[in-house]
Structure 1
């Protein structure tokens, strides 16, 4: 099953400094048919105005992955962590038993990003934060794991869930495969248009995938893809 959720059908709100689109129910947007996808709870497509951002606020019991598409995001938290994550790179915050954080766009231009929340395997635990560059050239023509809850994904940022966040950059006409098995998949092209097992998915659309053993993704134009694979 591959269900395409078009960008135009997404919920969201424009707060001036933040223009947010929600693939799943979030804040004031509620759709009982879009409460999550397996353990994937949130996928927000955010555009943040220059010199603005999210002031300090709390989280607990959630794995929060930020994939920066353009610009950069600057992170601060109650553990004393500080960091700036640029376009194409990733940060992960395991909220654990509780953490406060702020995320600011301190750049001169807009920052666009995907914010992805995945339920952890279990509640509690010590909160943590980390960030890492993932050059787009290293994922040219193939899926590369950015964040993972599996021990054998040594180059990925750790998350506390039985899942992965992976990404690929494909030139028009290129195909990449990914073994999803019996898990839940949710794929969004950050840019470009692709065909997933024969189903067309346009830029910033979401594809909710289930009961598809092998994903075969062909770029109909140059594309940058992010996929969550979660049990």
Structure 2
């Protein structure tokens, strides 16, 4: 199965005059029973936060929360005592587990652009924990770079309690990358810029392609393109 979801079909949410978001799955006031999750991937939001605005203190529980900063800065504070300013090229992982609170704010004059992905965990009742790394992935050329994973074959990146991996990718015009997978897994590709073919399906900026029962996901640059690839199990135990 391969399904193209054009950018025009995403739910666009404007919160006041300070936040613009694209929701790839049901979230907040948007609910579509046919679009709740993809394997354990429950939330995929593409956010833009204007300067001196952000999300006030709020709770999470039983979720793996991943933030990927594409541009600007984001200041994170939480009930575990962490206070960190994330910058472009940084990746943050939060295991909310039995529950914690945090806030996220853009304290600068400029817009912050980030992706936030939530995964249902493969273990419940975990102690809350936090991790972030500067991965400098934005200069990637013609390859996939893992950003966060729960697959132990990958190391030196933030670890989530889900048998899933998030990659940032770049493919040049006329270049091709093959991502090898298994028919028991699913793949989501979200185009950040440019134009590409995903298993011969054309995808433009902000389009997404969802694939199931594939051995290989072929990524071909129609024009220079950047994208996020999320590799998830078709069924995750214990979530």
1:14-163 mapped onto 2 (5 Å cutoff): 14-15=14-15, 16-136=17-137, 139-163=140-164
How far apart are 1:174 and its partner, in Å? 1.7
C-alpha distance in 1, partners of 2:5/2:76? 30
2:7 aligned residue:
7
- Where 1:120 maps in the other structure, the secondary structure is coil
1:181-196 mapped onto 2 (5 Å cutoff): 181=182, 182-196=184-198
1:41-94 C-alpha deviation (Å, 9 max, x unpaired): 111111111110000100011111111121121111000112122223211111
TM-score using structure 1 length: 0.95
How far apart are 1:137 and its partner, in Å? 6.4
TM-score using structure 2 length: 0.92
1:165 aligned residue:
166
How far apart are 1:136 and its partner, in Å? 3.1
C-alpha distance in 1, partners of 2:82/2:44? 24
1:142-189 C-alpha deviation (Å, 9 max, x unpaired): 112111112221122100011111111222222112112121111111
Going from structure 1 to structure 2, the CA distance change for 1:137 and 1:115 (only over 3 Å counts) comes to closer
Q: CA RMSD in A?
A: 1.3
Report if the CA contact (8 A) 1:136-1:169 is conserved.
Answer: no
1:203 to 194, 202, 205: 205
| Aligned pairs, number | 231
2:221 to 219, 222, 225: 219
Report if the CA contact (8 A) 2:178-2:218 is conserved.
Answer: yes
How far apart are 1:22 and its partner, in Å? 0.7
Report if the CA contact (8 A) 1:166-1:227 is conserved.
Answer: yes
C-alpha distance in 2, partners of 1:209/1:86? 31
- Where 1:204 maps in the other structure, the secondary structure is coil
Report if the CA contact (8 A) 1:12-1:29 is conserved.
Answer: no
Gaps of 5+ in 1: none
C-alpha distance in 1, partners of 2:71/2:139? 18
